Amino acid sequence: MSEYIEEQIKQIPDKPGVYLMKDSSGEIIYVGKARSLKKRVRSYFRKGNHSFKTTIMVDDIEDFDYIVTDTEMESFILEANLIKKHQPQYNIRLKDDKTYPFIKITTYEDFPRIKKTRVVKNDGSKYFGPFADVGAIYKTINILKDLFKLRSCNYDISEEKQLERPCLNYYIDKCMAPCVGKISKEEYHKLIDQVVLFLSGRQKNLIDKIEEKMNTAAENENFEKAARYRDAIQAVEEISRQQKVMSEDDQDRDIIAIKEDGSYCVQLLLVKNGKLIGQEHYILEVPEGEDQHEVMSSFLQQYYEQAPQLPDEILINTEINNREILADRLKQLKGKKVEIKIPSRGNKKRLIEMALKNAEQNLKKDQIKRKYEEKRTVKAVEKLKEYLDLNKLPQHIEGFDISNIQGTDPVASMVVFKEGRAAKSEYRRFKIQHDEGPDDFAMMKEVVYRRYRRLINEERPLPDLILIDGGKGQLNAAQAILNELGIKEEIEMVGLAKREEEIFKANKDEPIILPKNSNALHLLQRVRDEAHRFAVNYHRKLRSRRITHSMLERVPGIGPEKRRALLQHFSSLAKIRSADVQKLKEVKGISDKLAQEISEYLEKNTRNI
């Protein structure tokens, strides 16, 4: 466990929530839930009997984030939403909406029904959920049908289309029998409106009604019936708890809370189609003397001017300046009114409180991050100069790596770090032109020559330090190019060998060994590993492109034009292989017969890819 990760874990609260593991590029690679965030996250970095997947994943973890919830059930549902949104590589990912069940009310019908479903359609129905506890859903649906005497049948009925006689449920007082006109459409919809209110978060009246029936049953010594009502109350309360991470409707809503503790954190919870799908937070640089209202006002103005989409409603935890002007501007941007509210009670207030809790945690995390970022960057650069006896601070480092498998598709990468931080916009990649078989020394000489000849010709600044991935041999090959270009004295160069993390300098016979916990060594390792990652990704892309073209060229009946059409439509061979005949037929120029031939050929030859 790195010192940075260890310090972060100390600040995690012992509360339920969702954690998001990130790799060195900041990409989310795993989403998990926990009853105790502190215990669960810490367990990843302890020695123990981890699964193979976890062992591999932990090696990729460079940072993590988390969202604090009030209950484990909330984290259960939020985890599913975040996995669906981010599709992390180490999670089991579902490719459709069959995650957790919803409660569906068929409000498009004259006499709506209430039922469980796992498929959400744009069919005019009202959907509530998703919910994690399927048992609670069934109990809730049953008690709603029982209390409001809603129909359970699947008949297509209306006021004009009636049956001859009602079913047994009418005679045992479990249905109002709309099928034979015992209740009007208007009266039935009043019952449905009460059900909708309950599923929108207003459960108290219903719980009171169930308690009244439970007490009556107990007084009549009908204890079995009283127990069913008791279970129904528990189910309703469980559904109520699950709904807290849901909206009361299907609106898009932003929940924004601001917290100050030395610096300001603005926490944003994102609700899309009534589902809480994630969070963002922003640490703000605030001039001295600004108060919370001014900071929130300024944030909202700047954030929504560049936001790709605007919500239907914005919930905030503090009053703001120029509220009317902001509301007018949001209306201009969205094309319709955007509500700005400060909730004082109910589910919306609880979401604000959740945002505040997470803002507090993110402020603590930011303080740790600032402390260790300084160690990782500014102090690491200073230490590197000292350890390697460099002539100047290595504030501009360029790192190189070669990637090829058995001599095919050889490529090189160059990454740039400035003041200890990756400058990704300045990364470069090279297709190796050397064609005399695999020769890492020759390949390294080629890319170093191409890079620094260009900088010299364009009169651009040279780096302070060049890092070569490799030992003495690779270093000498690259150093020879600097001699040839006449810039040997202007740039210092080192090689970093993986096995023992030995550092080689051109003017030293013996390698330099830095302390394993040294920030200077960690900086060199980050440069080396980033160059390797960048090179491997480029190599895989080229190799995949070559294999794709090669495979498609062998499919009978596929020429250059149809091959281009397939790749433009599906973007990759993997997607072409997974497509069924019907999908293949959607591509211009692909007939029914050809689609069948493509599908059969790729299935038969899939092992060769």
In a domain, 61, yes or no: yes
End position of a domain, from candidates 330, 345, 373: 373
In a domain, 380, yes or no: no
Are residues 568 and 489 located together in one domain of the fold? no
Are residues 368 and 410 located together in one domain of the fold? no
According to the model, what pLDDT value does residue 609 have? 40
End position of a domain, from candidates 331, 348, 373: 373
Are residues 533 and 566 located together in one domain of the fold? no
User: 428 pairs with which residues across the strands?
Assistant: 414
Find out whether 272 and 245 touch, Cβ atoms under 8 Å.
Answer: no
Whole-number Cα distances in Å, 58 to 2, 87, 297, 494: 11, 18, 40, 29
Find out whether 440 and 474 touch, Cβ atoms under 8 Å.
Answer: yes
Crossing angle of helices 519-553 and 560-570, in 10° steps, is: 140
Are residues 113 and 234 located together in one domain of the fold? yes
According to the model, what pLDDT value does residue 402 have? 86
- 384-408 average pLDDT score: 86
Burial of 560 (0-12, 13-18, 19+ CB in 10 A): exposed
Q: How far apart are CA 75 and CA 421, in angstroms?
A: 34
- 55-76 average pLDDT score: 84
CATH number for position 455 = 3.30.420.340
Cβ-proximal residues to 334 (8 Å cutoff; 6+ apart), any chain: 310
In this predicted structure, the answer to whether residue 96 has a pLDDT above a threshold of 50 is no
In a domain, 351, yes or no: yes
396: confidence class by pLDDT, cuts 50, 70, 90: very high
Which amino acid is residue 334, in one-letter code?
A: K
Are residues 294 and 327 located together in one domain of the fold? yes
DSSP helix/strand/coil, 266: strand
Are residues 537 and 399 located together in one domain of the fold? yes
CATH number for position 44 = 3.40.1440.10
In a domain, 350, yes or no: yes
- Rounded to 5°, angle at Cα 441 from 438 and 446: 95
CATH number for position 585 = 1.10.150.20
DSSP helix/strand/coil, 33: strand
What is the tally of structural domains in the chain?
A: 5
Q: How far apart are CA 527 and CA 513, in angstroms?
A: 17
Provide the percentage of residues in the chain whose pLDDT is more than 90: 25
Are residues 327 and 464 located together in one domain of the fold? no
Are residues 113 and 218 located together in one domain of the fold? yes
Alpha helices in 220-278 (DSSP H): 223-242
Structure tokens at 479: 């150093």
In this predicted structure, the answer to whether residue 97 has a pLDDT above a threshold of 60 is no
In a domain, 381, yes or no: no
According to the model, what pLDDT value does residue 596 have? 84
End position of a domain, from candidates 541, 569, 588: 541
User: What phi-psi label fits residue 40: left (phi over 0), alpha (psi between -120 and 50 degrees) or beta?
Assistant: alpha
436: confidence class by pLDDT, cuts 50, 70, 90: low
According to the model, what pLDDT value does residue 447 have? 92
User: 339 pairs with which residues across the strands?
Assistant: 313
Residue by residue, DSSP assigns 6-38 as HHHHHHS-SS-EEEEEE-TTS-EEEEEEESSHH
In a domain, 97, yes or no: no
3-state DSSP of 290-324: CCHHHHHHHHHHHHHHHCCCCCCEEEECCCCCCHH
Highest average pLDDT, of 306-310, 542-546, 579-583, comes from 579-583
Are residues 203 and 142 located together in one domain of the fold? yes
Are residues 413 and 532 located together in one domain of the fold? yes
b or e along 121-134 (b: 16 or more beta carbons within 10 Å of the residue's beta carbon)? Answer: eeeebbbbbbbbbe
Are residues 126 and 220 located together in one domain of the fold? yes
Distance of alpha carbon 269 from its chain centroid, rounded?
A: 13
User: What element of type H or E holds 283?
Assistant: strand 275-284
What is the number of other CB atoms lying within 10 angstroms of the CB of residue 154? 8
Higher-confidence residue of 22 and 261: namely 22
DSSP helix/strand/coil, 110: coil
In a domain, 546, yes or no: no
What is the number of other CB atoms lying within 10 angstroms of the CB of residue 31? 25
Q: What are the pLDDT digits (tens) for 164-214?
A: 888 888 888 788 899 988 889 898 998 888 788 777 666 677 778 778 888
Provide the percentage of residues in the chain whose pLDDT is more than 70: 85
User: Where in the sequence is the domain holding 587, given as residue range(s)?
Assistant: 554-608
According to the model, what pLDDT value does residue 282 have? 86
Are residues 579 and 600 located together in one domain of the fold? yes
In a domain, 95, yes or no: no
Whole-number Cα distances in Å, 485 to 414, 455, 461: 18, 11, 15
Average pLDDT, the chain: 82
